[in-house]
Chain A
Amino acid sequence: MKNLIKIGVLVVIAGSLWFYIKSKQAPHIAQEKVLLTVSNAQIQGLDPIRVRDNYTVNEATKVYEGLLAYHYLKRPFELIPNLAASMPTVSSDQLVYTFTLCEGVKFHDNPCFPDGKGRELTAHDFVYAFKRLADPKLQSLNFWLVDSKIKGLNEWRQRYIDAANVDYTEDIPGLQAIDRYTLRFTLTKPYPQFLYALTMVPCYAVAREAVQYYGAEFMNHPVGTGPFMVAAFNPLDTKIVYHKNPTFRDKYFPSEAAQEYKHMLVDAGKKLPFVDKIVTHILSEEQPRWLKFKKGQVDIIDISRDNIALEVIQDNKLIPALQKKGAQLFSALEIGTNFIVFNNAHPLFKDNLKLRQAMSMAFNGPKYNKLFYQGAAMLAQSILPPGLAGYRADYVNPYRTYNLGKAKQYLAEAGYPQGKGLPVLTLEVVTNSTARQKGEFFQKCMQAIGIKIKLVENIFPELVKKIQTEATMLHAITWTVEYPDAENFFQLLYGPKQPGGVGANYDESASMPCMKKQWVCQIHLLGRSYMSDSTKWQQKVHPSFIYFTNPLQPFTKDGSKMLLLQTVLVA
């Protein structure tokens, strides 16, 4: 009897706790507009000089801004001034870039400033930001962006490598704040991608006061000039909350657009940002992300490039069930290529062009597209994806078309009829289900002509290491564009440090196409020599990068509005 009473009391307590918690969860009518998003990976802190991966970039660009950005709606991509008032004046020798900054741009209100009020952005802030990028003690892994490119910067860095403290007051000839709003860069040699580098997060403006106030914790207390602010942030958190920046400068939704985005101009001229709060959940597993989206706990989600064939798309459109709920599909061709690389330093591939071509032709592209992308991707003919100048839509790579007969013939000509005599080849892939399945697909294709492939899974750092040390035979990798220049793709294949890189033939002048006028021809030259006679890479697809929007809140009847927002911030 006593036990029954004890149990009864427990039940009552448990029950009341339950109801209490449930009541707290009851959705209150939001006075503010909140955008709920997800990130697929842990954010590595919000210090601009440390930001390297796509997910952290997405978060950092909500808070920080740079000199230049890309026009949100125009294609091909066009650089526009962001914190700069206008595009820079460039000297005739292409070495000096002079920027005039916008006036009246304020940093976020933050306790690190006197009175807690954010102060105005000046040219000195950019000088400071670049010094931090080069600071040897901070070990920024993004230093390559400006390595050996800005006059005096490398020398400054060298001086303090073994010193106890780095002197930031030292003047660097290539990094000058002429006056409050004028910034001048002097390069060591022409660097046509310099402006693109300026759009990348490591080159964004930071406030010296914040760095000094927060010290080592600066990465958890971002203070920028962007449309959103974060009160405090812990990289371990599985949730980040952003609030609208009340002192954000006047910035408006663009009024021009490329043809395919003209429908977004309904919001032209409206003041940014549109929402008051953004909550980003960090979930590394696919299942919880999608379950939350389907339940409406997440407004916007992208179909990760690795799992693009989820049953939510049919013929490039949303399935009716989701359409009924009000979700919308937004798709754009990702400027990226998914490909398999032959290590040309390996004796098997080194001089055996026919072998590589045979394998390339044995790959069943259309089936691959159907299986892994529901046909939504585009078969790549070269490593260059559409959207970049230099891309030729009419080019059809003769060794790219699926032709089993020809593949077998070439294999025999390569010295391995029906694959006899060829040892087992290894294909390195990243550790995840889809990458492995894609690898298995490749295995099956090769099996059809008699070549045996062994798959090896690696966590990403391991794969990178193997690639760097040329310890691979074949490896599968995806490359997304960092800046809109074809060089960004070609440098993957041609250069002193690429696996089997044409090291001996590496020509310094050819690797960095210099003049804007000239480089288009250069790329074609480079491209043509690769495309026609060597299948050094085996391109697969340009996956579509698809966004979902799930507008459950009244203010968003056009879900793409929210997508827009995010991309504006991402520049």
Chain B
Amino acid sequence: MNQASVQSIWIQAFLSLLKSKLTLASLVIVVSYSLLALLAHAGIIASNWNLDIGASYEPPSAIHWFGTDIFGRSVVTKIIKSTEVAMYVGFIVSIIAISIGVLLGAIAGYFGGIVDELIVWFYSTLAAIPNIMLLISLTFILGKGILAVYVALGMTNWIELCRLIRGEVIRHKDKEYIQAATALGASHWRKLVKHILPNIMHIVIIQFSAIFQIAIKSEVILSYLGLGVQNSPSWGIMINDARVELMRGVWWQLVFASIAMFLIVLAFNNLSDSLRDALDPKLRGK
């Protein structure tokens, strides 16, 4: 399959995506969250999240839409700031996971032999260890903080992608168009990058959205263990604070953080479903 037909499939897929209202809504959500994240990162909005603007634990009202937290900080602003944190976590973790997964999967599938055996052994070993243990262990090495979160989550989410890529590369390796390229004297690198990879990009896209939402959900668990984001609000911290706040009747941080998180996770889940329906060659044409 050459470049041109690959591209037309992409365009087709994108167009079919737009047809479904649900998918459209999901797309809108993802875009708005990304926009909020960028604006917050640039400091244009939510830079004053640490400011006490009201009394402690004020319930939602006309002035404070989502209420205030223990210090009187605006929950709305905190949620927007947390959106930035979440989107960054999701994005960077996905990039890390995809980089490792594609690299190792392609190498394993393409070169086969001892290289393949080693890589398979490596990820089988990692897969056998429960995620929680890996996360704890990684923090021994990496310490605390946002970088540790990125790396730890990235390291625990690349295996599935790696397996899929490896499988696909193996399938494509012996196809005719690759043999043709070899006959023409193409190097390994060229064959991999220019010919095989474009045909497996759909897997990467689908996995991207899958890993994104897993990363966001994992952050909540990391916060529970004390390994999460520090020095910035995050949905995980707000939800975990509810463990003691709910007993005091303070429900607004929990509810609004959950809704905010749930919307983006839902959007990504939906998108990845639709993308798979649109791009997966097996399901295409239904």
* CB contact between A311 and one of B71, B226, B243, B248 (< 8 Å): that residue: B248
B52: chain A residues at CB < 8 Å are 444
Complex CA distance for A457 and B243, rounded to whole angstroms: 17
Q: List A452-484 residues whose CB lies under 8 Å from chain B.
A: 454-459
* CB contact between A371 and one of B70, B225, B231, B245 (< 8 Å): that residue: B70
Interface centre among B237, B244, B249 (most CB of A within 10 A): B244
B231 touches A455 (CB 8 A): yes
B132 at interface (Cβ–Cβ under 8 A)?
no
A314 at interface (Cβ–Cβ under 8 A)?
no
Complex CA distance for A437 and B71, rounded to whole angstroms: 9
Binds B, one of A1-9, A151-159, A284-292: A284-292
Which residue on B lies nearest to A294, using beta carbons?
Answer: B247
A286 touches B247 (CB 8 A): yes
Q: List B234-258 residues whose CB lies under 8 Å from chain A.
A: 237, 240-241, 243-249
B243 touches A287 (CB 8 A): yes
A456 touches B144 (CB 8 A): yes
Complex CA distance for A437 and B70, rounded to whole angstroms: 8
A434 at interface (Cβ–Cβ under 8 A)?
yes
A457 touches B71 (CB 8 A): no
User: How many A residues, CB 8 Å from partner?
Assistant: 26
> Could you give, for residues 212-243 of chain B, a 1 whenever the CB lies within 8 Å of some chain A CB and a 0 otherwise?
00000000000001100011000001001101
Contacts across chains A and B counted by CB atoms under 8 Å: 53
B248 touches A457 (CB 8 A): no
A440: chain B residues at CB < 8 Å are 71
Complex CA distance for A458 and B243, rounded to whole angstroms: 18
B56 at interface (Cβ–Cβ under 8 A)?
yes
A444 touches B50 (CB 8 A): yes
Given contacts A371-B70, A444-B71, A456-B230, contact A285 B243 (CB under 8 A): yes
Q: Report the minimal beta-carbon distance from A445 to chain B, rounded to whole angstroms.
A: 11
Which residue on B lies nearest to A306, using beta carbons?
Answer: B244
Interface centre among B144, B226, B240, B243 (most CB of A within 10 A): B226
A54 at interface (Cβ–Cβ under 8 A)?
no
A431 touches B244 (CB 8 A): no
Which residue on A lies nearest to B51, using beta carbons?
Answer: A444
A441: chain B residues at CB < 8 Å are 71
A433 at interface (Cβ–Cβ under 8 A)?
yes
Complex CA distance for A459 and B139, rounded to whole angstroms: 12
Complex CA distance for A454 and B249, rounded to whole angstroms: 30
A307 at interface (Cβ–Cβ under 8 A)?
yes
A231: chain B residues at CB < 8 Å are none
> Could you give, for residues 403-443 of chain A, a 1 whenever the CB lies within 8 Å of some chain B CB and a 0 otherwise?
00000000000000000000000000001111011001100
Complex CA distance for A456 and B231, rounded to whole angstroms: 8
* CB contact between A457 and one of B50, B226, B244, B249 (< 8 Å): that residue: B226
Given contacts A286-B247, A307-B244, contact A431 B226 (CB under 8 A): yes
A434 touches B249 (CB 8 A): no
Which residue on A lies nearest to B241, using beta carbons?
Answer: A433
A492 at interface (Cβ–Cβ under 8 A)?
no
A311 touches B249 (CB 8 A): yes
7 contacts between A and B (CB under 8 A): A285-B243, A286-B243, A286-B247, A433-B241, A433-B245, A440-B71, A444-B52
Using a CB–CB distance below 8 Å, which chain B residues touch chain A? 50, 52, 56, 70-71, 144-145, 225-226, 230-231, 237, 240-241, 243-249
Using a CB–CB distance below 8 Å, which chain A residues touch chain B? 285-287, 290-291, 307, 309-311, 371, 431-434, 436-437, 440-441, 444, 447, 454-459
